């Protein structure tokens, strides 16, 4: 199978290189291409990505002329994967929030018939032990419960950014219609549920700290509730 890893990167010069260098050798052997999507960064992310591509022959770089958003960076990667004959795609964040040494574990369920794989911090253990604050923790727990009720599903995590998809999933989910925001991940899960795709979860550790998450919990929570309303009203 042709496995593609992609990395959305916006102003990621501080942490991106260490993430790339921490990808284990066994993962490099399995991944055909690491696609870095530079989403209109105004720091040295673009230059760093090009420099890394000179050192690592599997790295390809695609740059947006302006910042389009997290969801648009993923759409660019998905379009690239479909155009270039990939069988699977796995997303690795450029800020170090998700461990590169779990890449193989994210890919394995796809090789065994899963269509979508999500990293689950809940399955790994208490998220607060990894530095997640109480408010964020309980907000996540409550949102997950509500989403399981609405979607009639039994997932432990809807809001992890560690995701992997089969090419069948990308062809079945109308991702081009989805938002450009951080809510894109939730919309992809909604699309997978609508398409009756098999969704597996892989336990991953919680990594939180300075510079690791720019996502604001309250606006994000509101956007998730809007997604739930759109699902119930069959607008998504």
Annotate 109-169 with DSSP letters as a single string.
HHHTT-SEEEEEHHHHS-GGGGT--HHHHHHHHHHHHHHHHHHT---S-SS-S-EEEEHHH
What distances in angstroms separate CA 105 from CA 110, 198, 200, 213, 234, one per listed residue?
10, 16, 11, 23, 34
Q: Tell me, what CATH number does 51's domain have?
A: 3.90.550.10
What are the tokens at 173?
A: 């989910």
State pLDDT tens for residues 91-146. 999 999 999 999 999 999 999 999 999 999 887 655 544 455 666 666 677 888 88
pLDDT score of 209 more than 50: no
Domain region containing 200:
3-232
State pLDDT tens for residues 51-89. 999 999 999 999 999 999 999 999 999 999 999 999 999
Asked whether 22 and 95 are in contact (CB, 8 A), the reply is no
- Provide the whole-model pTM: 0.87
pLDDT score of 233 more than 80: no
Total tally of structural domains belonging to the chain: 1
């Amino acid at each position: 199978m042709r496995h593609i890893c992609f990395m959305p990167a916006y102003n990621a010069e501080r942490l991106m290189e260490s993430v790339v260098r921490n990808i284990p050798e066994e993962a490099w052997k399995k991944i055909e291409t690491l696609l870095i999507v530079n989403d209109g960064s105004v720091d040295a992310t673009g230059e760093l990505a090009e420099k890394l591509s000179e050192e690592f022959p599997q790295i390809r770089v695609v740059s947006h002329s302006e910042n389009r958003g997290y969801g648009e960076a993923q759409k660019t990667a998905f379009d690239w994967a479909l155009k270039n004959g990939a069988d699977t795609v796995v997303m690795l964040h450029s800020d170090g929030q998700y461990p590169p040494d779990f890449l193989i574990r994210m890919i394995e369920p796809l090789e065994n018939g899963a269509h979508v794989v999500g990293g689950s911090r809940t399955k790994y253990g208490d998220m607060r032990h990894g530095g997640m604050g109480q408010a964020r923790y309980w907000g996540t727990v409550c949102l997950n419960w509500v989403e399981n009720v609405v979607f009639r599903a039994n997932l432990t995590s809807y809001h992890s950014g560690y995701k992997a998809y089969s090419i069948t999933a990308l062809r079945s989910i109308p991702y081009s219609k989805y938002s450009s925001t951080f809510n894109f991940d939730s919309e992809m899960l909604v699309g997978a549920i609508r398409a009756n795709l098999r969704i597996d979860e892989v336990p991953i550790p919680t990594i939180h700290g300075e510079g690791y998450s720019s996502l604001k919990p309250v606006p994000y929570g509101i956007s998730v509730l809007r997604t739930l309303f759109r699902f119930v009203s069959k607008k998504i």
